[in-house]
């Protein structure tokens, strides 16, 4: 890479920030103004620098893009599912970026009705997302929402599926979540605060009226909660869910009675989490009540829903995390996680002959899929591993016969899963905890320390990082890369306690676990620090920011996507989307002990004069989750402090938000940039 091109230097305007007598000087605070032309100019200069510095890889980027795209079946479609008399299908057409939603009445051989062609809806837009799609009970109308910026702010509209016309009803600047009552005339939807984008209101809309006429059904005052509205699988109840990191509360209303009053299912108690499933005359409740850290299953009559009426169905287990349930007429299906692996447990209501679905690998992912019908013996689930493409399987719970409805095709004729090895290894963290790592590589690997290895992790919000298949990843594996996922604390990979041990005042376990996993793959000869790369996005970008401050010598390169790196300033600013709802995850810096702890690891605040690895940092100008200025400030500060000539890129998508570009091929172009960054550092061209 050429070193003659000079990077842009952001101007310094010191801003003094003080809390608890601690003074921080933020030289780049001024970048926090999307409307300032100087800010846009700086971002454009960073983009121009990135383009110049990587101009020699442009052809390779295109080649990688075409290679990854060529493995994808472009004219693909989902496995149809039957709901309320119609088979629903999502499909893609060759060369087109967006899905087409369609349905067929009663039979798969019936005429196709196109509900939404997102390619037409996205025409002329640099970003497009369809959300909140819901069909009326009489099958005649569809409520849908669209976002054309990427800030997760949607406009809701209604389409007459018989005439194809869009009705005059338009609900603007809301969260996109909407459901029908059973009268085919009333819609309930959630709306967010204009500044913080916190979803805080549930409103009711009657067909033919204006948004100004909509009735406020519920306002969530507590700024640490978000609200949404849903309908039960039984279609009998509407439910408003208020949720914070640690606490949930539901309100329910019969869907036949849209003008009735929602009633509280079980009032919120700090620390009490629960979710509800309706069946017959009862609700089934998954909850952490009574110190059930890994959750248990309880049941109550629909006429007596408060906690004192709940009775136990599945008790709490220390070594099994209960993740979800699926209810059928004759079977209860549990999704569990044991020792970091998914398990699907089938339990007949008769109480006889329960069993688990058998899975072979140690690096797989299995989860229930679209199961909208009660009265069936068929469970639809998905299975994949790091070497096995994703399958959708219909499993007869009575006969135990399975039918693979679809296996993801990897085109090009070159892929054979037997050419790759997957394994699970365990690193020992500095406090003695064993941390699992899922690894995949091409057969014939020599553990001589010379292989490039990309280590990925997230490690926040109790979000488990499952070992999944990726056809695009083959472009790295086939060029000699090892790919690994570190299942570090802060996720829920090994149960709820795994999450508890990686948040709040234990957050640093997330970072030290990752560093210890990095040391382990080096010790085991998979790679060396000259060939080790790390990648993480959003809260995983915070992880990247922390590890480069703490152990930069371990890595040759870092990919940080939309990284959350300015922890204290963001968490002190209650006007920023997500902030108040995050206190239970990171802590509230208005409390001294949390402020001090955050200050000790916040990546932006801990940048220092030292050597840093090569880094590729990406962001979106309209990101509502992690504001663009966090990575922009971080890169500006790194430029002024780093004591080496490694490369540092800031690549800002000026049209997109948190999820990056919206079209399926645009996302692959972004991936091609990341892969090019890695392969160029390794001097691998083909």
| Contact in structure between 603 and 130 (CB atoms under 8 Å) | no
Angle at which helices 664-681 and 58-70 pack, to 10 degrees? 130
For residue 316, what are its two tokens? 């709490």
Look at phi and psi of residue 400 and say left if phi exceeds 0, alpha if psi is from -120 to 50, else beta: left
Residues across the chain: 686
**For residue 413, what is the DSSP state?**
S
| Contact in structure between 628 and 635 (CB atoms under 8 Å) | no
Q: Burial of 427 by CB count in 10 Å (0-12 exposed, 13-18 middle, 19+ buried)?
A: buried
Contacts of 538 (CB under 8 A, 6+ apart): 458, 561, 562, 563, 564, 625, 626, 658
- Residue 618 phi, psi (nearest 5): -120, 150
Active site annotation includes 282: no
Burial 30-63 (b: 16+ CB within 10 A, else e): bbbeeeeeebeebbeebbebbeebbeebeebbeb
The catalytic residue among 538, 602, 624, 662 is 538
**Termini Cα distance of the chain:** 17
The catalytic residue among 493, 513, 623, 651 is 623
Contacts of 571 (CB under 8 A, 6+ apart): 579, 582, 583, 586, 587, 588, 589, 598
The catalytic residue among 136, 513, 658, 662 is 658
How far is it between the farthest Cα atoms of the chain?
74
Q: Rounded to an integer, what distance in angstroms lies between the CA atom of residue 284 and that of residue 301?
A: 9
**Half-sphere exposure (CA, 13 Å, Cβ side) for 172?**
3
Q: Which helix (H) or strand (E) holds 160?
A: strand 154-160
Active site annotation includes 658: yes
Look-up of token digits 């780049």? 28
Look-up of token digits 């948040």? 503
| Contact in structure between 389 and 409 (CB atoms under 8 Å) | yes
Active site annotation includes 394: no
Burial 276-307 (b: 16+ CB within 10 A, else e): bbbbeebbbbbbbbeebebbbbbbbebeebeb
Give the residue numbers annotated as catalytic, written as ranges. 538, 623, 658
């Amino acid at each position: 890479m050429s070193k003659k091109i000079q990077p842009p230097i952001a101007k310094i305007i010191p801003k003094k920030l003080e809390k608890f007598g601690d003074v921080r000087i933020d030289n780049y605070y001024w970048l926090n103004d999307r409307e300032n032309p100087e800010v846009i100019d700086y971002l454009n200069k960073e983009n121009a620098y990135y383009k110049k510095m990587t101009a020699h890889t442009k052809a390779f980027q295109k080649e990688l893009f075409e290679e990854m795209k060529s493995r994808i079946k472009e004219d693909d479609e989902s496995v149809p599912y039957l709901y309320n008399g119609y088979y629903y299908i999502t499909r893609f057409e060759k060369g087109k970026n967006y899905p087409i939603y369609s349905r067929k009445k009663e039979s798969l051989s019936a005429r196709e009705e196109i509900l939404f062609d997102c390619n037409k809806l996205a025409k002329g837009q640099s970003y497009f997302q369809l959300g909140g799609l819901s069909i009326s009970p009489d099958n005649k109308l569809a409520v849908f929402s669209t976002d054309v910026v990427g800030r997760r702010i949607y406009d809701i509209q209604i389409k007459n599926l018989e005439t194809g016309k869009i009705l005059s009803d338009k609900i603007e600047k809301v969260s996109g979540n909407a459901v029908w009552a059973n009268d085919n005339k009333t819609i309930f939807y959630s709306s967010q605060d204009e500044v913080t984008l916190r979803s805080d209101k549930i409103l009711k809309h009657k067909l033919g009226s204006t948004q100004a006429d909509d009735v406020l059904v519920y306002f969530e005052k507590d700024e640490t909660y978000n609200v949404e509205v849903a309908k039960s699988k039984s279609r009998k109840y509407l439910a408003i869910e208020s949720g914070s990191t640690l606490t949930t509360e539901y309100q329910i209303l019969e869907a036949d009675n849209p003008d009735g009053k929602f009633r509280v299912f079980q009032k919120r108690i700090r620390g009490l989490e629960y979710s509800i499933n309706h069946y017959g005359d009862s609700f089934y409740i998954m909850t952490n009540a009574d110190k059930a850290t890994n959750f248990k299953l309880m049941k109550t009559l629909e006429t007596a829903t408060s906690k004192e009426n709940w009775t136990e169905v599945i008790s709490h287990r220390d070594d099994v995390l209960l993740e979800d349930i699926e209810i059928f007429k004759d079977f209860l299906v549990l999704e569990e996680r044991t020792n970091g692996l998914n398990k699907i447990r089938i339990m007949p209501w008769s109480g006889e002959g329960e069993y688990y679905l058998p899975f072979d690998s140690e690096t797989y992912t299995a989860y229930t899929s679209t199961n909208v019908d009660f009265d069936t013996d068929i469970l639809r689930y998905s299975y994949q591993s790091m070497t096995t493409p994703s399958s959708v399987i219909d499993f007869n719970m009575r006969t135990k016969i399975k039918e693979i409805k679809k296996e993801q095709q990897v085109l090009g004729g070159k892929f054979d899963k037997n050419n790759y090895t997957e394994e699970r290894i365990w690193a020992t963290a500095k406090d003695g905890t064993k941390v699992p790592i899922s690894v995949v590589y091409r057969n014939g690997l020599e553990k001589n320390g010379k292989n490039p290895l990309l280590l990925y992790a997230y490690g926040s919000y109790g979000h488990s990082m499952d070992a999944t298949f990726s056809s695009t990843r083959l472009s790295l594996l086939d060029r000699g890369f090892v790919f690994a996922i570190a299942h570090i604390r802060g996720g829920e990979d090994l149960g709820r306690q795994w999450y508890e041990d990686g948040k709040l005042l234990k957050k640093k376990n997330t970072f030290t676990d990752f560093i210890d996993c990095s040391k382990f793959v080096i010790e085991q000869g998979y790679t060396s620090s000259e060939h080790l790369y790390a990648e993480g996005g959003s809260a995983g970008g915070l992880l990247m920011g922390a590890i480069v401050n703490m152990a930069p010598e371990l890595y040759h390169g870092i990919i940080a996507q939309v990284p959350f790196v300015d922890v204290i300033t963001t968490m002190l600013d209650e006007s920023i989307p997500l902030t108040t709802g995050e206190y239970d995850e990171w802590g509230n810096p208005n409390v001294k002990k949390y402020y001090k702890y955050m200050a000790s690891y916040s990546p932006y605040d801990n940048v220092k004069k030292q050597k840093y690895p090569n880094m590729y940092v990406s962001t979106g100008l309209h990101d509502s989750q992690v504001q663009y200025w966090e990575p922009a400030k971080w890169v500006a500060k790194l430029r002024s402090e780093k004591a080496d000539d490694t490369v540092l890129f800031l690549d800002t998508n000026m049209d997109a938000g948190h999820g990056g570009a919206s079209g399926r091929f645009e996302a692959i172009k972004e991936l091609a940039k990341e892969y090019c960054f890695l392969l160029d550092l390794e001097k691998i061209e083909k």
